[in-house]
Amino acid sequence: MPRKRTLLYCLLILMVFSCTNSKKSKEEKETTSKIAQNKPAEVKTFKLKFSTFSYELVSNGIVSALRKADLKFQSSENVANIYVKNGDYVSKSQKIASLEQFKLENAFEQAKDNLARAELELQDVLIVQGYSLNNKAAIPEDVMKIARMSIWHMRPPLWS
């Protein structure tokens, strides 16, 4: 008996929910489509004037330069100054960066000292042989060559 009651209640519930007015829903669909077709879309507009653009645009992507240039130096010193920043336009032969000059200036001074020392040694060798470095035209070429070779063997090379 309780089974029959449950079955009866279930059937009753199904009948209540299945009885809807299908004509009404069809009519509502037709009227909304007619209204949407007859009524034009509303668009709000305003007059443009020059002012600050206060809207933020967020966009993703990759930006790449049309042309790139590698920055290379003849020596491997630290970079002292950079005269441009990312995004700046540069022109041909514009100074972009500079290196620290201390080591370069120091090497230059040492090279000048080594040159002066070599000239002094050459003059010393030529004086021993009876020639003066002031009058290079009077010194025979073979004597000058021998004097330079003797200086070369007396001391290590200038670049070491």
Q: Which residues pair with 79 in a beta bridge?
A: 99
Quickly state the pLDDT bin for 113 (edges 50, 70, 90). Answer: very high
C-beta separation of 149 from 122 below 8 A? no
d(CA 112, CA 132): 22
Report pTM.
0.42
User: Could you report the per-residue pLDDT of 31-82, keeping only the tens digit for each?
Assistant: 555 555 666 778 888 888 888 877 777 888 887 878 777 878 888 888 899 9
Please provide the average confidence, as pLDDT, over all residues in the chain: 78
Share of the chain above pLDDT 90, in %: 9
